[in-house]
Amino acid sequence: MNHRFITSLQQLLEDPGFIQWARGEKPEDDVIWKQWADQNEERVKLLEKARELVSAVESENQGLTDEHIEHKISQALRIAKQKELHKKTQQISPIRPLFTSGWNVAASVLIVLGLGFALFRIYKNNRQKLEPPVAASQEKPETITEIVNNERALKYVQLPDGSSVVLHKNSSVKYPKEFAASKREVFLSGEAFFEVTKNPEQPFFVYANELVAKVHGTSFSVKARAEDEQVIVAVKTGKVSVFTKKDAKAKQYTEDKELAALVLTPNQQATFERSHDRLFRTILSTAILLNIPIENQAFTYSETPAEAVFTTLSKAYGVDIEFNREIMSQCSITATLGDEPLENKLKWICTILEAEYEITPEKITIKGNPCR
């Protein structure tokens, strides 16, 4: 299963219209999806696989738990490793095709299971009864967390929902210790890169001086320094809706989950000019705004040594990652981790390596066994 197929599969599973149709709630869309699939053979396979995943989650939705899914992931990993050990007992050709090892099989299996895991979370979130929203202005002072970065070039901040913030030097971010059920609100002063955990039922808002960015799950950069003439948002992946606090529809954009303002897609930028009180969109050759490593890092690995993977993550997120280089010297990773927040990346990597991780404000520690 190639990376393009997996990416397309994930896009289908994140499409609310497809989910409704696959669950049999929109039979009037049968013709639309048939025409879409008939364009090529790969789309036929995509549609079949996506419907299988939706059906599997729907049938097990009442009893499916995170622990059950993690058990299935570990089980898939063990099966792949057993296949690898079995291959070693047989005669091996001196030329081995790429992506045929048990570990590569494990990575593919894990990615597909991960899509199912994400889909399960969407179903669970959709079925939860929403609590009344808590306005940011009503938050008690003791419930607000503020992180200030005055010392490091970059500082990693993990938000309550698992989203990642890479905070530039001389910048700060404020957020509640627990997000409201209906929305997630973060307040930025300075510069930062965001990777937002996907949750269509709980939109994510970044308030950056005069500008507000509304997302459901994506990665983007924000430049909002008090002394600058402009406030800028640049999108790396996904979609971001941008509007000003003074916009006549600002309240509607905040309260309506589906309503979007100025929509940005990958390699697009929104700029608010303070002197002219003007907001406009431009197309970029790349989404690089802050000139930091994570803005152009793809996080795609093919039999990459674990040490190189951890080094890449450390530089991208501005966080120290400690691990035993001698123990993990034979470990390698094959996976596409994309725009998932750092903790999700760590979960996948540690599942593949059968390792454990611990996140503290100072560092991330990886503990595992030798790979053979």
CATH of the domain at 307: 3.55.50.30
Q: What residues are paired with 320 via a beta bridge?
A: 363
Together in a domain, 149 and 263: yes
Residue from 131, 239, 235, 144 nearest 187 by CA: 144
Together in a domain, 355 and 234: no
CB 277 within 8 A of CB 231: no
Distance, in Å, from the CA atom of 132 to the CA atom of 80, rounded to the nearest integer, reads 46
Together in a domain, 108 and 32: yes
Choose the final residue of a domain: 127, 154, 179: 127
Q: Could you tell me if residue 349 is inside a domain?
A: yes
Count of domains forming the chain: 3
Together in a domain, 194 and 275: yes
Q: Could you tell me if residue 133 is inside a domain?
A: no
What 3-state class would DSSP assign to 365?
strand
Together in a domain, 165 and 260: yes
pLDDT digit string, tens, across residues 89-100: 554 444 333 333
Together in a domain, 33 and 116: yes
Together in a domain, 40 and 164: no
Residue type, 154: L
Together in a domain, 84 and 163: no
Q: What is the pLDDT of residue 26?
A: 73
Distance, in Å, from the CA atom of 252 to the CA atom of 258, rounded to the nearest integer, reads 10
Q: What is the pLDDT of residue 47?
A: 84
pLDDT digit string, tens, across residues 135-184: 444 444 448 899 999 999 999 999 999 999 999 999 999 999 999 999 99
Q: How many CB atoms lie within 10 A of CB 103?
A: 21
Together in a domain, 153 and 262: yes
Q: How far is CA 314 from CA 39, 319, 323, 346, 358, in A?
A: 42, 5, 12, 12, 14
Q: Could you tell me if residue 274 is inside a domain?
A: yes
CATH number at residue 271: 2.60.120.1440
Q: Could you tell me if residue 135 is inside a domain?
A: no
Q: How many CB atoms lie within 10 A of CB 51?
A: 16
- From the number of C-beta atoms within 10 Å of its C-beta (0-12, 13-18, 19+), residue 196 rates as buried
Q: Is the pLDDT of residue 66 over 70?
A: no
Query: In which domain, by residue range, is 86 found?
Result: 3-127
Torsion of CA 41, 45, 50, 55, to 10 degrees: 130
Model-level pTM? 0.66
pLDDT digit string, tens, across residues 211-268: 999 998 899 999 999 899 999 999 999 999 999 999 999 999 998 988 889 999 999 9
